[in-house]
């Protein structure tokens, strides 16, 4: 099939990387970028850190897009997909025809579902407007309660504490950052306590309380935590509802094969937060991952695969990676450490200021966590392409002249 018109629905990181990859691979046809937000693509990691703290301005987070030679359809979301007519229907009624289609519509924050959701000063953090609104709220020196101790919740808590604000971090789980596993979750909890955060773990939230504006978070126990600003960090929901009736399986994520091609249509490829696909490191189970690096890598692959016939498309089997900056710690994860039976120390500096942990499942390492050891990450990401047993990994590290040091030296 000749491809003269490539349409990408989703004008954030995954969509942008797909467009860039298609152009780099030699695509000279029409390129249409459809995006719900009115902004050109920008990077999201600074939203919970540098932009929220006022250290970056808005211009600094935008990606350069000048040389892409694309038609931008911004500020109007896709409303439906007509596969028979090969058209994306926008919310304003416009129809966008495609030869090949990449879906990269990302995700949106899960809102507080209970009482008090409509109170003022209850925030989520996903886009530029969210970050700027929360930054303005922080200027009033409020008491801050963060509901949800995942990586967004933890990063918002650390930014608020660095601003000198009073912060309570609440989660029904026993430890924050569940993907790190229980051992490093405890370490993360201590990190926040040491920096002045009041942690309420194992505590469900019954309601947000206030008169017009939020004044407190009521726990399931009945205790009330005073708060002038509440930030909801309860995960994200893939933006796939608009695909209802298209014949694509997209609940909760867009069902794709290992090449990111949708299960029902070889002319439609997914990328980023919406994609649910089988990963070999997860023993073939389908996974859906909402992190920057995965979105960027999947976007690049989707852009190349969109130009190829189905039988020539390459799989996405790279071990997933994410990072989180909290206080003076850079936490980095490779693979699926939350699936491991436990985590053991692989290497560290004598003072344990830089450490690497790894965890096995069914006799193979499935996840690695590094703290302040960014230079070691490439070694482990490569190792997990063909997962070794833990002792095999430890032996490789011991023979590596760049290793931090053996745990036995501590």
Residue environment code for 245-265, b if the CB has 16+ CB neighbours within 10 A, otherwise e: ebebebeebbbbbebbbbeee
Provide the pLDDT for residue 352. 87
- 198-208 per-position pLDDT tens digit: 999 999 999 99
The string of pLDDT tens digits covering residues 279-312 is 999 998 999 999 999 999 999 999 999 999 999 9
**What are the pLDDT digits (tens) for 45-101?**
999 999 999 999 999 999 999 899 999 999 999 999 999 999 999 999 999 999 999
Predicted pLDDT of residue 54: 94
Average confidence score pLDDT of the chain? 95
pLDDT value of residue 409: 44
* Tokens 């019954």, located at residue: 206
Does 317 have pLDDT greater than 90? yes
Give the chain's domains with CATH numbers.
5-108+237-312 (3.50.50.60), 122-234 (3.50.50.60), 328-409 (3.30.390.30)
Dihedral class, residue 29 (left if φ above 0, else alpha if ψ from -120 to 50, else beta): beta
What pLDDT is stored for residue 408 in this prediction? 58
Q: Using the CB atoms, write b or e for 384-394: b if 16+ within 10 Å.
A: beebbebeebb
What pLDDT score was predicted for residue 25? 97
Phi-psi bin for 34: left (phi > 0), alpha (psi -120 to 50), beta?
beta
Task: State residue 188 phi and psi, 5-degree precision.
Answer: -65, -40
Nearest residue to 73 via CA among 35, 108, 22, 112: 35
pLDDT for residue 284: 86
Instruction: Output the pLDDT for position 402.
Output: 82
Helix, strand, coil % in the chain, rounded to nearest 5: 25, 30, 40
pLDDT of residue 405: 81
Q: Using one digit for the tens of pLDDT, what is the confidence trace for 350-394?
A: 988 999 999 999 999 999 999 999 999 888 999 999 999 999 998
DSSP track, 59-121: GGGBPP-TTS--EEEES--EEEEETTTTEEEETTS-EEE-SEEEE---EEEPPP-SBTTTSBT
pLDDT at residue 1 greater than cutoff 80: no
The helix or strand, by DSSP H or E, that contains position 130, with its residue range, turns out to be: helix 128-138
Q: How many Cβ atoms sit within 10 Å of the Cβ of residue 114?
A: 11
Sorting pLDDT into bands at 50, 70 and 90, what band is 406? confident
pLDDT in tens, 10-48: 999 999 999 999 999 999 999 999 999 999 999 999 999
DSSP string, 310-363: GGGPPP--PPPEEEEEETTEEEEEEE-GGGSS-EEEEEE-TTSSSEEEEEEETT
Residues 242-279 pLDDT 10s? 999 999 999 889 999 999 999 999 999 999 999 999 99
Say what the pLDDT of residue 401 is.
Answer: 80
What confidence score (pLDDT) does residue 365 get?
A: 96
Write down the pLDDT at residue 132: 98
- What pLDDT is recorded for position 354? 92
- In the prediction, which pLDDT does 329 show? 95
Q: How many CA atoms lie within 13 A of 87 on its CB side?
A: 8
236 close to 243: Cβ distance less than 8 angstroms: no
pLDDT(334) > 70: yes
Residue that wins the pLDDT comparison between 86 and 180: 86
């Amino acid at each position: 099939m000749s491809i003269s018109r490539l349409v990408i629905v989703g004008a954030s990181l995954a969509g942008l990387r797909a467009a860039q990859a298609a152009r780099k691979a030699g695509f000279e046809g029409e390129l249409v970028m459809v995006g719900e937000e009115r902004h050109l693509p920008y990077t999201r990691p600074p939203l919970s850190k540098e932009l929220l703290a006022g250290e970056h301005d808005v211009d600094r987070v935008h990606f350069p897009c000048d040389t892409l030679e694309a038609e931008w359809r911004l500020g109007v979301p896709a409303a439906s997909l007509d596969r028979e007519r090969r058209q994306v229907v926008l919310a304003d009624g416009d129809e966008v025809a495609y030869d090949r289609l990449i879906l990269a519509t990302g995700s949106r924050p899960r809102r507080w579902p209970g009482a008090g959701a409509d109170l003022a000063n209850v925030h989520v953090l996903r886009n530029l407007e969210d970050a700027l609104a929360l930054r303005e709220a922080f200027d009033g020196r409020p008491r801050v309660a963060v509901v949800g101790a995942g990586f967004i919740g933890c990063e918002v808590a650390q930014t608020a504490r660095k601003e000198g604000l009073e912060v309570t971090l609440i989660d029904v789980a026993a430890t924050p950052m569940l993907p790190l596993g229980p051992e490093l979750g405890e370490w993360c909890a201590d990190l926040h306590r040491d920096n002045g955060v009041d942690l309420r773990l194992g505590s469900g939230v019954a309601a947000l309380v206030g008169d017009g504006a939020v004044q407190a978070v009521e726990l399931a126990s009945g205790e009330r935590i005073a708060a002038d600003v509440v930030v909801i960090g309860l995960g994200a929901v893939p933006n796939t509802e608009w695909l209802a009736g298209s014949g694509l399986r997209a609940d909760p994520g867009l069902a794709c094969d290992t090449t990111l091609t949708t299960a029902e249509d070889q002319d439609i490829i997914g990328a980023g937060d919406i994609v649910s696909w089988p990963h070999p490191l997860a023993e073939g189970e389908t996974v859906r991952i909402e992190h920057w690096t995965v979105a960027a890598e999947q976007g690049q692959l989707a852009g190349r695969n969109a130009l190829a016939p189905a039988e020539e498309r390459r799989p996405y089997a790279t071990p997933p990676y994410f990072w989180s900056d909290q206080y003076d710690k850079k936490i980095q994860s490779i693979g699926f450490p939350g699936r491991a039976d436990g985590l053991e120390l692989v290497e560290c500096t004598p003072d344990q200021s830089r450490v690497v942990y790894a965890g096995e499942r069914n006799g193979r390492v499935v996840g690695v966590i590094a703290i302040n050891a960014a230079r070691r990450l490439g070694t482990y990401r490569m190792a997990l392409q063909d997962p070794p047993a833990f002792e095999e990994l430890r032996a490789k590290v011991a023979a590596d002249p760049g290793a931090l040091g053996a745990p036995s030296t501590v």
